[in-house]
Structure 1
Amino acid sequence: MASIALDNIRKSYGALPVIHGVDIDINDGEFVVLVGPSGCGKSTLLRMIAGLESISNGTLSIGGRVVNGLPSKDRDIAMVFQNYALYPHMTVAENMGFSLKLRGAAKDDIGRRVDKAAKILALEPYLDRHPRHLSGGQRQRVAMGRAIVRDAAVFLFDEPLSNLDAKLRVAMRVEIKELHQRLKITTVYVTHDQTEAMTMADRIVVMHDGLVEQIGAPLDIYDRPATLFVAGFIGMPAMNLLEGRMQSDDPAIFRTRGGVALPVSARADVPSADRDVVYGIRPEQFVIDETNGTPAKVVVVEPTGSETQVVARIEGADISVLFRDRVAVRPGDIVPLGVKSGQEHLFDRETGRRIAK
């Protein structure tokens, strides 16, 4: 059993608090991603799980055992770092088996575990090479192999793909996810890349300023962001967020500060009239509506082949629009934009919390 429980975890550096009471329950075998911008506290939280940072307050349990005071070596965890941390004078096989050698494991046992990990990671042809003779992706696999041979109960990944180019990051995402599906080891993965979080996680923990903003399955967070921060952070391109208020003579109409009226679908919890709100709409939820659409001036067109991303301007506000097919628009054109029914999101402007279903 390798569940992880964080109960009111806090961290301060002297008088400066950086983690403000985090509660997370991670199930045995689950792949959980901590995501957020730089400085949000995700790496600090991971280092506390690993035993590399002390906990100022709260309780951390791994496998039902409180580990606050335990050193890293006694927590049954294995960590993969951003910079690989390989010994340049050792071969791949020696790097992968070094932690077992330090423990005093038998040579035959080390060889068996290294061979098993190398087969899983397709590293068998490279066992006699040194790290300088490997590509970035191969080095990252060696770092993962070093974690696998330890046969730990928990894997911790600290932004392991940041040093790789875009194409290799995609390939390594697939490899790490496939590895988890094969080994079923509880995994906590830290990244600032929301695409990594969406594609890899069983559940995502969105962090901001040392607090947990939302925890949930990737598509649940995408479809129902709990706060303005989550709405703006998760999704590429980001959700459009327009400030305004509910129209006084008709609560089912939102009007931007520039005077543009946007529809609000009929819901039981539509906010009352004359209330300041933020209206959120994902770029892919716009449609061209020749009958009732709002005129928008095209500013930039970015075709990618399978999609077309457009930046348009409505009454001084720039919005992102994503068409799943090719559209014949050019900068300067006026296009009538409508919103797909039921796809809007409403947030309280003061608290930043979601106020509509």
Structure 2
Amino acid sequence: MASVTIQNAVKRYGKVEVLHGVDAAIRDGEFVVLVGPSGCGKSTLLRMIAGLEDISGGAISIGGRVVNDLPPKERDISMVFQNYALYPHMTVAENMAFSMTLAGAPKAEKDRRVREAAEILGLTPLLERKPKELSGGQRQRVAMGRSIVRSPQVFLFDEPLSNLDAKLRVQMRSEIKALHRRLGTTMIYVTHDQVEAMTMADRIIVLQGGRVEQIGAPLELYDRPANSFVAQFIGSPAMNLFTTTVRNGQLLIDGVARTGIAAPAGLAEGCVVRIGKRPEEIALDAAGPLSANVVNIEPTGSETFVELVMNGKPISMVMRSRPDFGIGATCSLRLDQGSVHLFDGVSGLRI
């Protein structure tokens, strides 16, 4: 096991800079997820940790040792890719032992490690099968088993569940988290799926445009997002943002519609503030000050997702009860003062 420290890490491709001074400290034995939209630099950062991409500036340390100039094989890491990359002519056991075979490890040692990894992952009955005889989930377990056999200081996962169906993704999320609890090894996991990040991580690093937006525990990011980007990226459906103006100590939409939310002390008259409300925090109220039109209703069983439009802008609402209205209806809404998130209208930073 080992900590991973990233200090002012920069990545350039020619004159184009794609990572702009990333700083992060990943503790020994921690499960950290890198999350963000496509093109934010999360896979590039993971590949830099692995040594598959050169670092253009800054430093990356594993276990207190700067690894900028070390090749991947000397970093004592193991990486699980989106593509399983299994050798089709080899058995499960041979695939799992491949790195040890290349290293010239004794057969008894290889067999012992393969058996231990197979036991952890439930692969013991499949050791003599070829990859073509396995399901997608079983192939992903073999790829993880190949990493476990190496006993690395750090596991790196690059969107390993992207090729699996929805049900299997949920199962594999649970299995990877259980694997982490059992091994206690540092794990860094890349995904664009914020639900994966929320359910698996000890801490999440949110990236956008090659910069770190926020680092924190899943519920910390959900309850106190540092800015409007994190507020909308973490949580599904996304947080609603209402652009308001400070008028006489109140926050008004379009300078007229009352939100019922008082402006924080010290904000100047006319200042633009964005109010953030989670979909589950918006309430129907016949006497509510806001009016919106229903454009879609999605029942999921225990909850109902309702999409509305107010002044041409979309709003999402989650209802625990069954709605008594249909598409095209007009609803009155209330925004409670409680659980409100306020962001600067210019910088997007939390107020």
More displaced, 325-334 or 169-178? 325-334
Tell me, what secondary structure is at the counterpart of 2:118? helix
CA distance in 2, matches of 1:53, 1:292: 54
Indicate if the aligned counterparts of 2:42 and 2:190 stay in contact, CA closer than 8 A: yes
Q: Is the 8 Å Cα contact of residues 259 and 315 (structure 1) preserved in structure 2?
A: no
The TM-score with structure 1 as length reference comes to: 0.95
8 Å CA contact retained: 2:260, 2:336: no
**Corresponding residue of 1:262:** 259
Structure 1 residue 346, shift from structure 2 partner: 1.4
Q: CA deviation at 1:68?
A: 0.8
Contact 2:289 2:334 in 1 (8 A): yes
Match of 1:189 in 2: 189
Kindly, what percent of the aligned residue pairs are identical? Answer: 60
| Matched residue, 2:340 | 344
Q: Which residue of 2 aligns with 1:48?
A: 48
Residues 258-316 of structure 1: CA distance to partner in whole angstroms, max 9, x if unpaired?
7322132575x563331012221111101122344533322211111100111122233
Among 277, 285, 288, which residue is 2:284 paired with? 288
Moved over 6 A (4+): none
Give, as a single letter, the amino acid of the residue that structure 1 aligns with 2:308: A
Kept in 2: contact 1:258–1:315 (CA 8 A): no
Indicate the SS of the match to 1:264: strand
Report the counterpart of residue 334 of structure 1 in structure 2.
330
Take 1:119 and 1:220, find their aligned partners in 2: how far apart are those partners? 35
Specify the alignment match of 1:321 in structure 2. 317
Pair 1:270–1:78, CA change in 2 (3 A): farther
1:137-152 matches, cutoff 5 A: 137-152=137-152
CA distance in 2, matches of 1:99, 1:178: 24
Amino acid at match of 1:113: R
Separation of aligned partners in 2, 1:146 and 1:182: 16
Q: Give the whole-Å Cα distance in 1 for the aligned partners of 2:331 and 2:297.
A: 13
Q: Does 1:80 align with 2:80?
A: yes
- Matches of 2:266 and 2:328, distance apart in 1: 36
Deviations 1:67-92 (A, max 9, x none): 11111111110100000111111000
Q: Which moved more, 1:73-82 or 1:318-327?
A: 318-327
Partner SS, residue 141 of structure 2: helix
Which residue in the other structure is 2:213 paired with? 213
Q: How many pairs are equivalent?
A: 351
Does the 8 A contact of 1:32 with 1:189 survive in 2? Answer: yes
Q: Counterpart of 2:272 in structure 1: which amino acid?
A: D
Q: Deviations over 1:187-222 (max 9, x none)?
A: 000000000000000000000010000000001101
What's the Cα RMSD here? 1.4
Q: Which moved more, 1:138-147 or 1:274-283?
A: 274-283
Which structure 1 segments of 5+ residues have no match?
Answer: none
> CA–CA distance in 1 between the matches of 2:318 and 2:266?
26
1:233 Cα deviation (Å)?
Answer: 1.0
Task: Provide the rounded CA distance (Å) in 2 between the counterparts of 1:259 and 1:157.
Answer: 50
1:28-68 superposed Cα distances (whole Å, 9 cap, x missing partner): 00000000111100000000100111111111111111111
Letter in 2 for 1:14: G
Map Cα deviations across residues 154-178 of structure 1 (whole Å, 9 max, x no partner).
Answer: 0000000001111111110000001
| 1:285/1:186 CA distance change after superposition, 3 Å | same
Aligned counterparts of 1:126 and 1:290: Cα–Cα separation in 2: 61
Residue identity in the other structure for 1:276: V
Residues 291-310 of structure 1: matches in 2 within 5 Å?
A: 291-310=287-306
Letter in 2 for 1:66: V
